[in-house]
Structure formats: C-alpha cells, structure tokens
Amino acid sequence: MYVIDKRPEQALDHAQAAYEATPNADNALLMVAILEMTDKAGEAYAFLATHVENKPNDIRSAMLLAERQINRDRKQAIGTYETILEKTSDNFVVLNNLAYLKFKENELEAAQNLANKAIALQPENADAIDTLAQVLIAKGEKQEALSLYEEIATRPIANEEVYLNHVELLLELDKDSLAKRRLSSREFKQKVSLVRIESLKTTYGI
C-alpha cells in the first residue's frame, strides 16, 4: 500500500516484518524494490546477496542478483549464473547473459557454446545472435559473424547496439556502401548510439 502510494520509506518496516515472517521470493524482491526506491542500493544488494545465499533455490532472486552483479563484479555474476544454470539448464536469459560475460572475460569457446545453446532455444532472438556474432568476431571469424547478422537484418532489430554492431562489422570488412545504407535507413534515438555513429564515421571516413 505504501509503495503504491509512493511512500516507500513508510513501507520498509512493513516489508521487513513480512520478510522476517515469510522469507520467500516475493517478500525478498519487495524488500529490494523498496530499498532501491529509497536510494539504498548498497543495502538492497547486500540484502539480496544474503537472501540468495540462504535460499539457493530461489531462482528469481538469484537472477536479479546476477543482473546487479554484472556491473559490480563480472566474475561474481558468472558464478551466480552458473549456479542458476545447474538448476535450470534451459534458461535462455541465463545462457545468453552468461555467454556475453564469458565473451567479456575472453573465454571464447565457453561463450560460443553457451550462445549456441541460447540460440537453439530462441533461434530468431537478435540479442542472442549478436552475442554469438561478437564471439566469432573475437575469434577472427568475421565472415561467419557477417552471415549471422545478414540473417537478422531482414527483420526489425529493436536493439540499437546490435544494429550498430552489424554496421561496424560491415565497415571492418570494407563494405562501406552497405554500412552507409544501413545507417541512413534507421532513426537512432539513444545518445550512446549517436555518439558511436559519429565515432564510426570518423574512424572509417564515411
């Protein structure tokens, strides 16, 4: 009630009491939400980590913890995702995120294996295909990566970063005309995308 009324400070004591009485996923996630709404992100993270340690089968909370860990400590996020994967081996989000994290850690074979499993679950998911393509690029297999991007280029790509990853690969492969057509055929809205486009134009002289 207090949260709905936008008074999270008053809701905290009630949420704490509810969690202590029933420390389940719903009450844990409510606690995290209230703590974060009251600018207590550090407390929220510590609470969530403790909850997951005490309730290792709470997949929802573990997923949220891993998400929070990605920007804090990639290795911790990897460990959390790997633990979740032991319990839910066909979890698409875990497979794709873990593939991305392994890629960032330069564990390319593991990343490729995980990305392939994610794509097997959702063959048309652009984010998963992008993850695999980035792994292939890192392995020097740029033509194979380009083939993946060409598969998804015929469909709308919501993620601007994925779209620009394709454009950048085209530029790396000296396919400037096609890259420029891809850029001109879409309106970019995110500031980070606009900055990246200017950087690509400067780097590749287009």
Q: Are 134 and 142 in contact (CB under 8 A)?
A: no
Q: What is the pLDDT of residue 95?
A: 98
String of DSSP letters for 106-175 = T-HHHHHHHHHHHHHHSTT-HHHHHHHHHHHHHTT-HHHHHHHHHHHTTS----HHHHHHHHHHHHHTT-
**Does a structural domain hold residue 4?**
yes
pLDDT at residue 170 is higher than 50: yes
pLDDT at residue 4 is higher than 50: no
Domain hosting residue 29, numbered range: 1-88
Residue of higher predicted confidence among 51 and 6: 51
Q: What is the pLDDT of residue 138?
A: 97
Q: What is the pLDDT of residue 8?
A: 61
Provide the percentage of residues in the chain whose pLDDT is more than 90.
85
- Residues belonging to the chain: 206
Residue of higher predicted confidence among 2 and 92: 92
**Does a structural domain hold residue 107?**
no
**Does a structural domain hold residue 60?**
yes
Residue of higher predicted confidence among 37 and 143: 143
- Count CB neighbours of 87 within 10 A: 12
**Does a structural domain hold residue 11?**
yes
Q: How far is CA 25 from CA 30, 63, 179, 186, in A?
A: 8, 11, 46, 41
Q: What is the pLDDT of residue 143?
A: 97
Name the domain count of the chain: 1
Q: Is the dihedral of CA 79, 84, 86, 92 positive or negative?
A: negative
**Does a structural domain hold residue 34?**
yes
Structure confidence by residue, pLDDT tens digits, 109-143: 999 999 999 999 999 999 999 999 999 999 999 99
Q: What is the pLDDT of residue 112?
A: 98
**Does a structural domain hold residue 179?**
no
Q: What is the pLDDT of residue 181?
A: 96
Q: What is the pLDDT of residue 13?
A: 77
- CA 80 to mean position of chain CA atoms: 14
Categorize the per-residue pLDDT at 1 as very low, low, confident or very high, splitting at 50, 70 and 90: very low
Q: How far apart are CA 61 and CA 27, in angstroms?
A: 10
Residue 66 belongs to domain with CATH number: 1.25.40.10
**Does a structural domain hold residue 202?**
no
- Closest residue by Cα to residue 148 from 164, 134, 159: 134
